[in-house]
Amino acid sequence: MKVIVMGAGVIGVASAWYLAKAGHEVVVLERNAGAARETSFGNGGQISVSHAEPWANPSAPLKMLRWLGKEDAPLLFRLRADPAQWSWGLKFLRECTAARSTHNMIQLLNLGTYSRASLQSLRDETGIQYDHLTRGILHFYTSQKEFDAAIEPARIMRELGCERQVIGADEVVRIEPALASIAPRLAGATYTSEDESGDVHRFTTRLAALCEARGVRFRYGVRVQKLHAQGGRMRGVEVADETGGYETLQADAYVLALGSFSPMLARPLGVKLDIYPAKGYSATLPVLDASRAPTTSLTDDEYKLVFSRFGDRLRIAGTAELNGYAMDLNPVRCEAIVRRTLEIFPGMSEPQLARFWTGLRPATPGNVPYIGASAVEGLYLNTGHGTLGWTHGCGSGRAIADIISARVPEVDFAFCGKPSRTRPVAMPALS
Ligand SMILES: Cc1cc2nc3c(=O)[nH]c(=O)nc-3n(C[C@H](O)[C@H](O)[C@H](O)COP(=O)(O)OP(=O)(O)OC[C@H]3O[C@@H](n4cnc5c(N)ncnc54)[C@H](O)[C@@H]3O)c2cc1C
């Protein structure tokens, strides 16, 4: 089959890889001059099956209210006159019940476990290098209350097969000696030894090169303008091509993997995707004193920051701002990230050496991505991966390739459309 993949972020490139492996002829369309130049550029680097607790959980509404208007809040809902934002916000609240939150957590855990295993096999098969480390993820707490509240979700995760262990402060410093400076303030941590970290940009660009070697064609500088459907079936993709001219491209199947920009293209076909951009920040610091920098990937619960070591760099990422598509860097947030990093790891680097980045997480209200068939025949979805697109990249790519190849994916997940375990996408009939 000929398959067009729209978008060359980690999701589009992983889809292309598994589709090519399944024997399909694949073309990837990307508006930038290379792969992984948008949200898959500078993220937190965690392959974190253990971060399966969705943002939308029973304690979220109260916390978000407290954070409203606070410039350095970890999760900031900046209210706008934007119906898409309000509609997303209301759906988010609906996902905060204990039942919905548990359902979503199970989806994220299943997909995460499958995806991490898929990434490990891909690594064994190809030898791909991306500054990865397999030293686990340590989620540490400086608040006793938050630590106590983490014990039950960790227990549920263990029951569901994710080895998220609860550990005391002494054990934290044994696993990551660089945390010694804040040892007296630690309430405890959870540790998932099977989780990993690595540079998503390196991974995606190198996987794109491996895809090309397998015959995948990447068309960079090509902007998808419009999807054409007729009689309930995809008929083509209208693009502004490399020369600025317009053309319509056709294939047997089309994969929508445009991250936060997916809903605009899908909506005219009647495919309504609840995806809203959640802007995040990262800082990358050169490691000047390796003895003071962590090698285990970390999550700082108090500041909602994650830390991943990429060779001689430390990546710190976090914060979420629901404020539309603006990409400006807020200096208050940038400074807060570096201040906290050097407070925990004093002398590790110098603040003026930080390189800042911002990206838009394609967030769904319940954190669960859209993967599978849409109601428009031939149009497949692989989008809305929110906070976990790097963790879920390989599993999502592998699953969509299975679905397009008429095979049932090996993971128990609420896929959209057919086959199986369906998650319906609201869709009026097409004219
Ligand atoms: C601060 C931050 C930290 C994060 N940390 C982690 C982490 O530690 N672990 C984790 O698992 N996840 C993390 N994430 C989430 C993860 O980065 C995303 O879920 C993932 O990158 C999304 O990938 P994607 O391919 O869907 O989107 P993108 O990478 O944005 O790819 C979409 C592609 O589509 C292209 N495109 C869009 N519109 C068009 C068009 N009209 N025509 C042609 N091309 C188009 C874009 O140029 C882009 O290349 C983090 C995100 C942020 C912002």
pLDDT band at 307 (very low <50, low <70, confident <90, very high): very high
pLDDT for 76: 78
> Cβ(321) to ligand 1 under 6 A?
no
| pLDDT tens by residue, 2-53 | 999 999 999 999 999 999 999 999 999 999 999 999 999 999 999 999 999 9
Give 359 Cα–ligand 1 centroid separation in angstroms: 7
Going by C-beta distance under 8 Å and a sequence separation of 6 or more, which residues neighbour residue 37? none
Question: What is the mean predicted confidence (pLDDT) over 53-70?
Answer: 84
Find, among 5, 58, 56, the residue nearest to 35 by Cα.
5
Residue 74 has pLDDT above 90, yes or no: no
Mutate to test the pocket of ligand 1, among 307, 390, 392 (most ligand atoms within 8 A of CB): 390
Give 105 Cα–ligand 1 centroid separation in angstroms: 21
User: Atom 14 in ligand 1: which residue has the minimum CA distance?
Assistant: 387
> Cβ(110) to ligand 1 under 6 A?
no
> Cβ(261) to ligand 1 under 6 A?
yes
> Cβ(40) to ligand 1 under 6 A?
yes
Q: In the predicted model, what is the mean pLDDT of the chain? A: 93
Q: Check residues 85 and 133 and name the one with the higher pLDDT.
A: 133
pLDDT band at 67 (very low <50, low <70, confident <90, very high): confident
pLDDT for 418: 57
Residue 274 has pLDDT above 90, yes or no: yes
Mutate to test the pocket of ligand 1, among 5, 37, 40 (most ligand atoms within 8 A of CB): 40
| pLDDT tens by residue, 402-426 | 999 999 999 999 999 955 444 444 3
Mutate to test the pocket of ligand 1, among 4, 334, 361 (most ligand atoms within 8 A of CB): 361
pLDDT for 60: 87
Model confidence, pTM = 0.95
Residue 137 has pLDDT above 50, yes or no: yes
Ligand 1 atom with least separation from CA of 319: 1
Upper half-sphere CA count for residue 421 (Cβ side, 13 Å): 15
Q: Check residues 70 and 305 and name the one with the higher pLDDT.
A: 305
Ligand 1 atom with least separation from CA of 390: 11
Find, among 391, 390, 373, the residue nearest to 382 by Cα.
373
User: Atom 15 in ligand 1: which residue has the minimum CA distance?
Assistant: 387
Mutate to test the pocket of ligand 1, among 237, 241, 387 (most ligand atoms within 8 A of CB): 387
Going by C-beta distance under 8 Å and a sequence separation of 6 or more, which residues neighbour residue 391? 46, 47, 48, 49, 51, 112, 115, 116
pLDDT for 431: 26
Return the bridge partners of 217, or none: 27
Question: What is the mean predicted confidence (pLDDT) over 76-97?
Answer: 88
Q: Check residues 430 and 224 and name the one with the higher pLDDT.
A: 224
Question: What is the mean predicted confidence (pLDDT) over 122-131?
Answer: 98
> Cβ(365) to ligand 1 under 6 A?
no
Strands 233-240 and 415-416: unpaired
pLDDT for 59: 87
Find, among 268, 276, 241, 223, the residue nearest to 383 by Cα.
276
Give 386 Cα–ligand 1 centroid separation in angstroms: 8
User: Atom 5 in ligand 1: which residue has the minimum CA distance?
Assistant: 44
Give 135 Cα–ligand 1 centroid separation in angstroms: 24
pLDDT for 425: 42
Residue 69 has pLDDT above 80, yes or no: no
Give 9 Cα–ligand 1 centroid separation in angstroms: 6
Question: What is the mean predicted confidence (pLDDT) over 314-331?
Answer: 93
Q: Is-contact 170 110, C-beta < 8 A?
A: no
> Cβ(205) to ligand 1 under 6 A?
no
Find, among 385, 416, 301, the residue nearest to 108 by Cα.
385
